[in-house]
Every structure is written in C-alpha cells, then in structure tokens.
Amino acid sequence: MEVFEYIVRRIPKSGIVTLGLFACSHFGYRGVAFDKLEREIDFIENDPWARWLHLGDSGEYITTNDKRFEIGALDPEYHRDDYVDHQVDVAADSFQRIGKQGVGFIMGNHEDSYLKFSKSNPAKRIAKSLDMQFLGYTALIRLRLQTRSDDWCPVIFCMHGKTGAQTLQGQMNYLKRISAPFNSDVSVMAHVHRNACDNNDVHLLMNKDCSGVQAVRRHYAITGTFARTYAVQGDGSAGYGEKAHYPPSALGCSSVEFHVGDRVIRAKDYLS
C-alpha cells in the first residue's frame, strides 16, 4: 500500500475542489469513446481547482498468455509488436494537458496482467511521463486542502478493485468491506465499468474525550469506463466483454466534490 499526501494551496474560502475519477480508459481497444474522454478531460482542464486520479486499466494490456486476449478487440492501429508501448504513449499524450492537475495513478488488472510477463509497468510509465505519483495497487491519499485561514485533510482510500459481484449493491458492499479498516472519509474503486455513489453511510462514534457520540459520514464512489462493451466493429469481431455478455458499460467518470468552506464531501456518479 502507498500512503501519499497531496496539497492543493490557496483555495478560495468558499471553493469546491472536484476530484475526477478516471479509470478503465482501455486505450488500444476498438470501442474507446474518445469523444466522452475528451469532454471529461476538458472539464478538469477548465477548472483550476479540479484534480484527478486514474484508477487503472489505462490500456488493453492483456497478452496472448491471458485467456481474455482477443486480437479482434484491438484497434488495427495496435496490430503491431509494440502494441503495449504504443498504448502507453497514446495514454500519456491524451492526459498530458491535465498532467499538472493529476494526483496519482493506480494499477489495474490489465497492468498487472502485463507485468507478470514483462518487467515493464505501463501505469508506472504513464505516471512518470505525466510527473504524477505512482500509487501501486492500493493507496491512502491525504488530500490537504488549504485556504488562507484553514487546513482540511480528508483521507481517500483508492484501488482498482476486484469483485465478482454482479449487482450494484454487491459491488458497493465490496468497496465498503475492503475500505472499512482504513477509516477513510472517501473510498473509490473502478473495475466494474459502472458509475455509482453512496453518501448515506453514517456511523455513530464516540468522541475522543468520551463526552458523547458524533455522526461520521463516509462517502463511496465507483467509477466507469471509456470502453464500450458492445462496439459496432463491422467485421464480426468482439471483445471478451461482449463474448461474456457483460452489461453495457457506463461511459465516463464518477467524481468527488470537496466543499472547503463547509467541510462537506459529496460523491457523484458523473463528472461533466
């Protein structure tokens, strides 16, 4: 696990810091929704207080050693020996204009699958290219939000995720169960290609001076993808998602808003 502090300075007293949760961009896949990706990147770029994470599966990195590999699912542009290197370059170029607003880069199962057969880590390479923090498989981020008169530091638990649950409730319960020991204010994951949030998890906890109890609210977000499960190919080919009859993907990002003046957090199932 990585523990990392990221500071946003000189925020207006009534400012809102939005954290975009990019994930599962799957560069190299034939069904990438580049138009949606560009709109989400535009949103971050146009908001000076916006920041972003990438929660893994940045490319279609699985190799021929993986049972899910489908050459027909790769865009013809990537039918080349260096198809992983090319995806890394495209990913870095795509996020370059918001690189300075990036908080960190998490590994997903696609990066992990490639790493098993190579000494190269695509997520780490992209993070380095963008001058972002590489956050490994799982991370706790201390997001320090500073105004001229205040200093607020909510904690974010983040991971790519790995759950076989098919229902939204099952997937959200998985996120809550895995993140519970880390006592984070916000917990986020990706992997399941859907956008969802929960701001209603309230715990009654004893004050440290034992004078009474206080209500502590936890916030959760599951973020989507930019890869269409059912993309019209025109040649009869299909990716492993379509062959497994996964439900259609939710395109785009979830996000988390931090209202600095009120110290209010709100997870959202959309970004732009």
Give the model confidence (pLDDT) of 232-246 as tens digits. Answer: 766 777 777 888 888
Let me know if 75 is exposed, middle or buried by CB neighbors in 10 A (0-12, 13-18, 19+). middle
pLDDT value of residue 154:
98
Which DSSP letter does residue 181 get? G
pLDDT, tens digit, for every residue of 6-59?
A: 999 999 999 999 999 999 999 999 889 999 999 999 999 999 999 999 999 999
What's the whole-model pTM score?
0.94
Q: What is the pLDDT of residues 207-257, one digit of tens each?
A: 878 888 988 899 999 999 999 988 776 677 777 788 888 888 889 999 999
CA atoms within 13 A on the CB side of 110: 25
Among 72-81, 126-135, 162-171, 213-222, the least confident range: 72-81
| Spatial distance between the Cα atoms of 180 and 80, rounded to a whole number of angstroms | 43
Sheet holding 254-259, edge to edge: 133-134, 102-105, 51-54, 16-22, 254-259, 264-268
Q: Residue ranges per domain, the chain?
A: 2-268
The CATH class of 2-268 is: alpha beta
